Structure 1
Amino acid sequence: MLAAAIVIITAALVFYTAGVWSERLQRTLRWWHAGAFGLGLACDATGTFLMSRIADARDATGEHAVSVLDRVMAISGGLALLLMAVHLVWAIVVLVRNRPRERAQFHRFSIVVWVIWLVPYIAGAAAAMSGTA
């Protein structure tokens, strides 16, 4: 299950990064960007669910003690998922309203959410590399 979670969360990184940075480079929000945000959110939520199942199994066996890094990942991961959902909804609102100025400035919000999302991603990667995940 760990390998599947890693692949799915990495897919979230690919989709979300592609959506955010292509929106930034194209200088306007497009529907396919919202689609990439949605795919990134779906992958991240699925990967997070799988990771929580793995953590629950380890906690039940006493195999894994909760570390500070685990807490950072849990808190920042929950915040990141919430922000990704808000980001997707707001992108849809902006696209439906179709105001050129909003579509051109949306990338500012996207970059902030993307940077916040990187915190749990990097923390998880660090935990996996250090053997604490």
Structure 2
Amino acid sequence: MLVWAVLFINLALVTYTIGVWAERRSRELAWGHFAFFCLGLVFDTVGTAFMKLLADGAPLNLHGITGLAALILMFLHTAWAGFVLWKKQDSQRKQFHKFSLFVWILWLIPYSIGVALSFLNG
């Protein structure tokens, strides 16, 4: 089960990173970026579900708390992207652009903690 958790979390990293940086480089939010945000969110949710099964009732730790916060932010980020694109609200695109990078950086915190823990636990 650990293999599946790692696979899906890494797929989330790749797809979410593509979406965020493609949107940043183009300076224009597009439906293709939204698709990558959605894939990243789905992969992260599935990977997190596998990790939850592996935790087997263990108390919530720093990795779990930051991971849950990052997942919630990813959801809000993706929902906002869809809303901005659907409503064609150009006034919110600049704010979204900043928020996008912020969420991605915050998402890297639990990812990095997970990588560090995997090295420490051998």
Runs (4+) of structure 1 exceeding 4 A deviation are: none
Residue 14 of structure 1 is matched in structure 2 by 14
Amino acid at match of 1:19: G
Contact 2:29 2:85 (8 Å CA) reproduced = yes
Question: Could you report, residue by residue, the CA deviation over 1:26-58 in whole angstroms, capped at 9, with x for unpaired residues?
Answer: 00100011110110011001001101111107x
After TM superposition, the structure 1 = structure 2 runs for residues 70-109 of structure 1, keeping only pairs within 5 Å, are 71-109=61-99
Residue 40 of structure 1 is matched in structure 2 by 40
Q: How many residues align?
A: 122
State, as a whole percentage, how many aligned pairs show the same letter: 43
Amino acid at match of 2:86: V
Amino acid at match of 2:3: A
Amino acid at match of 1:114: W
Amino acid at match of 2:15: F
- Can you give the 5+ residue segments of structure 2 that lack an aligned partner in the other structure? none
Question: Could you report, residue by residue, the CA deviation over 1:12-39 in whole angstroms, capped at 9, with x for unpaired residues?
Answer: 0000000000000000100011110110
SS for the counterpart of 2:106 is: helix
| RMSD (Å) for aligned C-alpha atoms | 1.6
Residue 115 of structure 1 is matched in structure 2 by 105
Amino acid at match of 2:14: V
Amino acid at match of 2:33: H
TM-score computed with the length of structure 1 as normaliser: 0.85
Residue 26 of structure 2 is matched in structure 1 by 26
